[in-house]
Amino acid sequence: MIIRSAVSSDLPQLLTLYQQLNTSDPLLSPEQAAEIWSEFISNRCCTCYIVEIDKKLVASSVLTIIPNFTRGGRPYGVIENVITHCDYRLRGIGTALMNHLINFAKEKNCYKVMLQSGNARKDAHRFYEKAGFDGNSKKAFEIRF
């Protein structure tokens, strides 16, 4: 198992994997995907991590480290788009990826790392709690467009 930053050649497998995350999302055209990838890699705050097993991309998540004027100037991390391929779940892969993200945030001197999860995703909530996240410390609000 290799955990690393995604590179442009990972994009086709990454897009296929993300189809499992939100099955109702429209598929991106290759041109859209390339444009988003270019924007993504130019942002020094964002990193897309992948887990690779036998040259197959089996898990991914994005970690954004956000500069901060509070907490003594310490940044904070936001984790998004956490996915493990359905054929590779319950093997410790997601745990290894989550530990990698948390440790990277600590190395960057973040004062916290946070994520959101849909209210109905009870299995995911248990997974995040086992990883050390507290589901009761904050309340998230969002506006969807």
Give the domain ranges of the chain: 2-130
What confidence score (pLDDT) does residue 43 get? 93
Q: Which of 2-6, 93-97, 106-110, 139-143 has the lowest mean pLDDT?
A: 139-143
What confidence score (pLDDT) does residue 46 get? 95
Look at residue 12 and tell me whether its pLDDT is greater than 90.
Answer: yes
Closest alpha carbon to 5 in 86, 101, 75: 101
Residue 127 CB-half CA count within 13 A: 21
Mean pLDDT, the chain, integer: 94
Bridge partner residues of 66 (DSSP): 76
Tell me which of 3.30.70.260, 3.40.50.300, 3.40.50.1950, 3.40.630.30 is the CATH number of domain 2-130.
3.40.630.30
Output DSSP code: residue 74.
Answer: -
The two beta strands, 113-115 and 76-84, are parallel
Summarised one tens digit per residue, pLDDT across range 20-37 is: 998 889 989 989 999 999
89 in Cβ contact with 81 (< 8 Å): no
What confidence score (pLDDT) does residue 23 get? 87
Look at residue 98 and tell me whether its pLDDT is greater than 90.
Answer: yes
Closest alpha carbon to 15 in 48, 64, 55, 54: 48
Using a cut of 0.85, tell me whether the model's pTM lies above it. Answer: yes
